[in-house]
């Protein structure tokens, strides 16, 4: 394991957060399953990283009750209901938008289910590729908004102010002219419960 990752895990530990290094996404998938108790309910946040790992289908095929708001065929109302249930599930799975080398975690959210799940669920597992590690918190916030969110707006054809030009215009990115994706910002600086929050750092580039 590189010194940078070892330092990050040590910094997370000082914040009461478990940092776990896993070399590949295939191993990460298996490790996440091991961390989740049998018969537990699992909520998920929308995440390209989780998609790339394939964890949702993997858990669904392993008989976990996954609150999957992206299940084909469900209505928008049903999807919102499932998100609500997911944010109160036994476990909540998410990626982060960025993590500083000092261990500060940054999450952006549009509707708040993601930030709610991460802030409140009894057990939270955050998956993070190497590309999301930044030198400091300022860069983590910048990355989250000016890189990750812009790419996510494009991916989801989200009618934000950055969609056409690829530049953040948070000064004008407001209703009714635009549909802003980064409405809420959650920064986790520390955790009160030593068992609650785990960060799996995967030794690959994942997500945006
Ligand atoms: S504030 Fe608006 S323009 Fe800026 S990154 Fe977020 S969604 Fe895009």
> pLDDT by residue (tens digit) across 164-201?
888 999 999 999 999 999 999 999 999 999 899 999 99
Domain assignment of residue 78, given as a range = 3-134+189-202
36 ligand 1 Cβ < 6 A: no
* Distance from Cα 143 to the centre of ligand 1, integer Å: 12
Phi/psi of residue 103, nearest 5 degrees: 100, 10
- Give residue 165's pLDDT: 86
Q: Tell me what percent of the residues of the chain surpass a pLDDT of 70.
A: 100
- Give residue 39's pLDDT: 87
Please count the CA atoms within 13 angstroms of the CA of 25 that sit on its side-chain side. Answer: 18
Residue 181 located in a structural domain: no
- Give residue 1's pLDDT: 63
Q: Hey, which of 152, 156, 160, 172 would you mutate to test ligand 1's pocket, going by the most ligand atoms within 8 Å of its Cβ?
A: 160
Please count the CA atoms within 13 angstroms of the CA of 19 that sit on its side-chain side. Answer: 28
* Distance from Cα 190 to the centre of ligand 1, integer Å: 27
144-149 average pLDDT score: 94
Residue 208 located in a structural domain: no
- Give residue 65's pLDDT: 92
Cα 4–Cα 14–Cα 90 angle in degrees, nearest 5? 100
> Which residue, judged by its Cα, is nearest atom 8 of ligand 1?
162
What is the CATH number for 100? 3.40.50
Total of domains in the chain: 1
Q: Are 206 and 49 in contact (CB under 8 A)?
A: yes
Residue 105 located in a structural domain: yes
Chain-wide mean pLDDT for the chain? Answer: 94
Residue 62 located in a structural domain: yes
77-82 average pLDDT score: 92
For the stretch 27-70, pLDDT in tens is 999 999 999 998 899 999 989 999 999 999 999 998 899 999 98
């Amino acid at each position: 394991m590189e010194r940078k990752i070892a330092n990050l895990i040590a910094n997370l530990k000082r914040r009461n957060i478990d940092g776990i290094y896993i070399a590949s996404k295939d191993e990460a998938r298996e490790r996440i399953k091991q961390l989740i108790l049998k018969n537990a309910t699992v909520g998920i946040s929308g995440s390209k990283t989780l998609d790339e790992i394939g964890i949702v289908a993997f858990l669904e095929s392993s008989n976990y009750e996954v609150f999957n708001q992206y299940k084909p065929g469900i209505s928008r109302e049903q999807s919102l209901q499932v998100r609500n249930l997911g944010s109160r599930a036994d476990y909540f799975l998410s990626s982060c938008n960025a993590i500083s080398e000092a261990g500060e975690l940054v999450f952006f959210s549009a509707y708040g289910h993601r930030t709610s799940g991460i802030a409140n669920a009894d057990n939270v597992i955050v998956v993070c590729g190497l590309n999301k590690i930044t030198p400091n918190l300022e860069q983590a916030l910048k990355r989250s908004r000016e890189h990750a969110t812009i790419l996510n707006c494009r991916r989801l054809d989200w009618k934000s102010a950055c969609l056409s030009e690829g530049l953040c215009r948070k000064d004008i990115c407001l209703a009714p002219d635009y549909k802003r994706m980064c409405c809420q910002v959650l920064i986790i600086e520390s955790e009160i419960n030593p068992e609650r929050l785990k960060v799996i750092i995967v030794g690959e580039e994942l997500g945006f």
